Chain A
């Protein structure tokens, strides 16, 4: 089976140690986590892990089964790229003098649809949200002029289909 990109969404209790438990599932199977984001979810007191892997669908399904097996995990889902709306964010720290010395910089800012977050005497910071390749393109465009610092976040994603977590929790309290 061929390797593909899958986005795993995990709804879980917000507990110390759960991240370790989840990452251990990947470690045990020698599968690399390509991107990881932990945040609150649409449900109060429920965390959401968004994990991106590049592996076969079979492995992804098995990993999701193992994740769901963890006591503090409420439910886990996986989707391919067509089934989700997803983005990443990046910050670029660039020397301020380039704004004046290099005309092309302003074009890059405009064309990349990025925002200037702050400008100081020495540097300015650009923020860009979008698909991985869009961020990569902007990175490539800025690289010849020098990037002082660069960071990109993990993928965040929402699914096109429903993730029926609230219903699951409601059923628990009714039972």
Chain B
């Protein structure tokens, strides 16, 4: 996000000119550095689409096949670039179809601006054709929203929208614009928003808190770091690495913290949470100081709060004051941008090595390896495991691919077994758990990082929730690689049914269509493999392809994801089988 800010520094206030509201919207987007947006036209947004037609050399509009796809594509773009993703839709159903993407971006702190058309001002409240109260509907799932009813409001409100979406803890903003405001003329001039008096996006770090945190860290015998997406959003990857290396403290990531640190870093001890690694989950309840950085103690991370890290002093580095003491009480709260606060604490941290303590992690990794990982990566049974597929993709891509996963078993496996060398390489729906996220998010991710390999890992259930976006790939020739791990079940729900509902598989068995034919219908090279012996060669072929490629892998039908912290159990009650 810094880069965009930098870029915009030179963009002086443009001089006033008479334009329509619709044209003003385009100028605002251009002034904010937007060069691509995702959307779907319709009656109430047509004046803006008319301007998009005129400005297509400067601003690329990607027509998705559903508005939800537009939001997830914008999210994928935002997550891989760190810039604000933009989605556009018409009023009524166009607007309501954005809601899932907004909710997803809200809970996963993704910077996104959604622009919706609205019926003309004098029709507001008359139940006009395609009128819906999208402001009312989107309020709980947006960082901010606003309805523009006059053309002259457009520049100031859009400037605010982009500022709010990307500053502090990022999030989605929705701006609803009535049709009359798009048609009417205004004297256009643009000024970037640099502050709002009621909004303090980045709290100033408190040096006393920094000192207190440094003291706790320096005196700790068994300290442990858990870091989340705050490190990526704050661009604090280097500071995190330096902190870990200087202090010798083992560090675990949350699902959204993945890729902020090299997977193979010796002090990276894996993932915390429900299907995270055994060692960091177990040792959360044995450490003496728990250093949480840019994470929010989600229930999927903490399990039962009454038994979560009760023995430990908790230090919480966080940009959002509302997260402090929300789920876990912090002994020391360090508010501020993670890059700044970690930078401030670094000189106060004593060099250390916690070898004996680090060995406790290694010991438990060995336990997990023997009980779970070995069989997952090198199965002796006939059916393929999801993990061996992920592992092959990873190895063959040199751990450089952007992995976009959907939601469910394959997501947990992708997050457990993918290895990363570069930040912003793991894109998944963490907080909301939105099935159908991956395919459109992968489109946005690829468009945001054309020089990188983007592989979508999707289950057979989630794939069919947004499968229509194959049309977007077809039309734009977007070279994404799509891997469907087909177990003919809604795997994660089936797993819970097996474990907690006595194997009553209510509505989790799926009869699937011929996915290869469907992909071929969109002119996408497609293959299905059912035998392990074809895995290596097919993945090599997929990665070598310059175009989009669809690969269906038939995996074992009733595999379970382990380790697992049963819902409501303590992190140290993690099950290996």
Instruction: Provide the residues of chain B in CB contact with A36, threshold 8 Å.
Output: none
Are B322 and A68 in touch, CB under 8 angstroms?
yes
Are A65 and B326 in touch, CB under 8 angstroms?
yes
Are A71 and B322 in touch, CB under 8 angstroms?
no
Chain A residue at minimal CB-CB distance from B164: A71
Chain B residue at minimal CB-CB distance from A74: B198
Are B198 and A28 in touch, CB under 8 angstroms?
no
Knowing A13-B198, A173-B197, the reply to whether A71 touches B326 (Cβ < 8 A) is no
Could you say which of A16-24, A113-121, A127-135 contacts chain B?
A: A16-24
CB distance from B19 to the nearest CB of A (A): 26
Give residues of chain B (311-331) contacting chain A, Cβ–Cβ below 8 Å. 320-322, 324-326
Are B198 and A72 in touch, CB under 8 angstroms?
yes
Are B197 and A74 in touch, CB under 8 angstroms?
yes
Cα–Cα, bound, A118→B224 (Å): 71
User: Binary interface profile of B, 35-69, with partner A (CB < 8 Å = 1, else 0)?
Assistant: 00000000000000000000000000000000000
Main secondary structure of the interface of A (DSSP, over half): helix
Instruction: Tell me if B135 counts as interface (CB < 8 A to partner A).
Output: yes
Are B135 and A69 in touch, CB under 8 angstroms?
no
Are B140 and A71 in touch, CB under 8 angstroms?
no
Instruction: Tell me if A141 counts as interface (CB < 8 A to partner B).
Output: no
Cα–Cα, bound, A74→B196 (Å): 10
Instruction: Tell me if B391 counts as interface (CB < 8 A to partner A).
Output: no
Instruction: Provide the residues of chain B in CB contact with A21, threshold 8 Å.
Output: 139
Q: Contact residue range for chain B?
A: 20 to 34
Main secondary structure of the interface of B (DSSP, over half): mixed
Instruction: Provide the residues of chain A in CB contact with B140, threshold 8 Å.
Output: 24, 28
Cα–Cα, bound, A173→B194 (Å): 12
Are A24 and B197 in touch, CB under 8 angstroms?
no
Q: Which of B135, B199, B322 contacts A65 (CB 8 A)?
A: B322
Instruction: Tell me if B145 counts as interface (CB < 8 A to partner A).
Output: yes
Are A66 and B196 in touch, CB under 8 angstroms?
no
CB distance from A80 to the nearest CB of B (A): 19
Cα–Cα, bound, A65→B325 (Å): 10
Instruction: Tell me if B136 counts as interface (CB < 8 A to partner A).
Output: yes
Instruction: Tell me if A33 counts as interface (CB < 8 A to partner B).
Output: no
Are B195 and A172 in touch, CB under 8 angstroms?
yes
Knowing A17-B145, A68-B322, the reply to whether A169 touches B136 (Cβ < 8 A) is no
Instruction: Tell me if B143 counts as interface (CB < 8 A to partner A).
Output: yes
Instruction: Tell me if B505 counts as interface (CB < 8 A to partner A).
Output: no
Chain B residue at minimal CB-CB distance from A67: B322
Are B139 and A172 in touch, CB under 8 angstroms?
no
CB distance from B322 to the nearest CB of A (A): 4
Are A65 and B321 in touch, CB under 8 angstroms?
yes
Give residues of chain A (45-88) contacting chain B, Cβ–Cβ below 8 Å. 61-62, 65-66, 68-69, 71-74
Cα–Cα, bound, A142→B326 (Å): 46
> Quick one: which of B144, B145, B199 has the most chain A CB within 10 A?
B199
Instruction: Provide the residues of chain A in CB contact with B326, threshold 8 Å.
Output: 62, 65
Knowing A65-B321, A65-B326, the reply to whether A71 touches B198 (Cβ < 8 A) is yes
Chain B residue at minimal CB-CB distance from A58: B325
Instruction: Provide the residues of chain A in CB contact with B146, threshold 8 Å.
Output: 17
> Interface of B with A (CB < 8 Å)?
135-136, 139-140, 143-147, 164, 195-199, 320-322, 324-326
Q: Ordered nearest first, which 5 A-B pairs have the shortest CB separation?
A: A65-B322, A74-B198, A172-B197, A69-B322, A71-B144
